[in-house]
Copies of this chain bind each other. A is one copy, B any other.
Amino acid sequence: MSTSKKSPALPSAPAALVQDIARPLVTVDVVVFSLIDEALQVLLVQRPRQGSEPFPGQWALPGGFVDVLLDDDLRACALRKLREKTAVESPYLEQLGSWGGRLRDPRGWSVTQVYFALLPWASLQPRKGANAADVRWFPVDAAGVTLADDSLAFDHGQILAAAVKRLRSKVEYTSLPAFLLPEPFTLPQLQRVYEIVLGRPVDKSAFRTRALAAPDFLEEVGPQATGAPRSPMGYRLVNRQQPVTFPRTFQSRS
């Protein structure tokens, strides 16, 4: 990060105040996924209908400007945005990427850092966000998203599509879907989550072998009464911060 050398004239001119010329707008957005009613769903907020803000009334990813007084760093900012909408404190959170350019926000050159959160649904029943008048879960259907790509504010349709793609691709070889379940969970439940996110059935035997063989993945916590005729074993994650990577991808030979 070196200061770029503009204006080659005046070689020893006193350095101007750092970038007092136009600075881009800086925001953080969060793509929040959870599993509700046997479906992958994403959390969206409705933008205010009144006022001078762009995209009034449209649905958008939760997020907003970095507050240089409140936020120590980007991750803290993402957690704050999430807390404002869901009262969730410590979800699985990873960076998805950045989108920045001149045209994505009518107010000017802007850049957003997008995070990617996976929540167990049980953990957010509580409040629905204090100030969030309109916060809703939307199912992410097989094709991609329920909403047409450009029905979301800004370039959030694209961002959401990228998030879904990343999730689907990582599910092939990591334990990411486990973060969508409240603990304790059973192997049949976990397998079901994989099937929902992947959109195809997974072989029971292979799935169990893989899951139980993975080091530092699951920990037994005793049988669970799920209402099933035979009580399945309950498990919890050894590490809720980091997913486990499997040595191969899931693949259907048929």
Contact = CB atoms under 8 A, between A and B. Distances in A.
A26 B156 CA distance: 21
B101 A3 contact: no
A111 interface: yes
Interface string A45-72: 1011011110000001111111111011
Of A1, A61, A98, A100, most B-chain CB atoms within 10 Å: A1
Contacts of A143: none
A101 B113 contact: no
A9 interface: no
Contact of A47 (B2, B52, B63): B2
Contacts of A27: 1
A182 interface: no
A168 to B, nearest CB: 13
A111 B25 CA distance: 11
Contacts of A6: 67
Nearest to A110: B1
A138 interface: no
Give the 6 A-B CB pairs with smallest separation, nearest first: A73-B101, A4-B64, A68-B109, A74-B100, A15-B52, A23-B23
